Amino acid sequence: MRKTGFVCHESYFWHDTGNGALFLPPGGWIESDIHSENPATKRRFKNLLERSGLASSLTHLEPRLATREQVQLYHAPEYVDKVKKLSDTTGGDAGELALVGSGSYEIALLSTGGALTAVDAVMTGQVDNVYALTRPPGHHAEKELGMGFCLFNNVAIAATYARKMYNLKRILVLDWDVHHGNGTESAFYDDSGVLFISLHQEMNFPPERGFAEHVGEGGGEGFNVNIPLPAGTGNAGYMYAFETVVKPIVDQFQPELILLSAGQDPNMFDPLARMMVTAEGFRAFTSFMLKLADKHCEGRLIACHEGGYSAPYVPFCSLAIVEEMSGIRTEVEDPFIAAMYKIPTNELYDIQKQYVDQVKEIQSKYWNMAYQASL
């Protein structure tokens, strides 16, 4: 059993993205519904943690407000000013589909501060690992532009903070959100001290980002690993990528800290993606990453919540992750598993293997893809 921290705050659920249809604003030809990035998936996950009894076994960590100086470890001052101005007035878009509501600036500071709180907790040994249920999410946010529901890039700021405060030389950021982590990629594209690996659905969002050929530049060439996967990829396709690309590269990089951008939108019921991952798939991803953390960085692993838009299913996917992180299994079973009967989520298809093998070929220029350490 591990000592697992949990970061959450009621304010996270109060970030107001308003109404719309999926990600469209009200108006047009369709009656308004609730915006896709609404509190429901996160609140229901927190409720499930409590109802299952797992919440009482976690170490609850109170998030703090990130300072402006900490946010500007990545973001431009002018962009931070823009978010604050929108938040203090009537709200609006901080870039591309990055909605700011009244009070969102302070909530975004608290979201980033939750990631920083998690870093301090694992680096000081208060806990072994942390799940940070932060909102708004962050991995799309660029230095000068909010994007894709993200305001401040929590993980990019947390990685930079960890290097500065704890003198870390090698940090792994692994992003399994179904959408490419473009903002985090941009933060470290020319930096060999942060290995960024993104597994995502090809050509989903943002457009023209996340290609396997995007490997970094300058001193960071080879330290940016994109693993685009075809629509319909399930547990088996993802695990093939973890085993044949992620493991040999991470074993050679030897991170001192692992940060996960944990977006559960590769789940098979997600309205903003076309993947086939189940709750047990997310459990397997987590188990795999925990073993790498044990091997290389004394178990120091932080998962920051990113996307995931199926309000009924994301809670079960996220619960499986925290169960695995803590080593505690609850009585909760996936109630949707019957609907997946005969759906080949655990079958590796040739097309999926071809996509991953293409990444292996590209990355073999920088890494020994046959590398096996401590078998």
| Cβ contact 309:36 at 8 Å | yes
Alpha-carbon span 318 to 304, nearest angstrom: 11
Residue 22 CB contacts under 8 Å (≥ 6 apart), including other chains: 33, 35, 36, 271, 272
Per-residue tokens: 158: 């947390």
CA angle 69, 18, 48 (to 5 degrees): 80
| Cβ contact 241:197 at 8 Å | no
Q: Examine the residue annotation and report whether 60 is marked as an active-site residue of this protein.
A: no
| Cβ contact 64:332 at 8 Å | no
DSSP E strands, 111-181: 129-132, 146-147, 171-175
Q: Please count the other Cβ atoms lying within 10 Å of the Cβ belonging to residue 27.
A: 9
Backbone Cα Rg of the chain: 19
Q: Please count the other Cβ atoms lying within 10 Å of the Cβ belonging to residue 32.
A: 14
Q: Please count the other Cβ atoms lying within 10 Å of the Cβ belonging to residue 53.
A: 12
Per-residue tokens: 291: 């073993």
Per-residue tokens: 175: 């992003």
Catalytic-role residue among 9, 15, 35, 140: 140
What are phi and psi for residue 148, nearest 5 degrees?
55, 50
| Cβ contact 87:103 at 8 Å | yes
* Cis, peptide link before residue 136, omega less than 30° from 0: yes
Per-residue tokens: 260: 């996960």
Given its phi and psi angles, is residue 196 left (phi above 0), alpha (psi -120 to 50 degrees) or beta? beta
Looking at the DSSP assignment, which residues form a beta bridge with residue 201? 229
Per-residue tokens: 206: 């943002």
Active centre residues (catalytic): 140
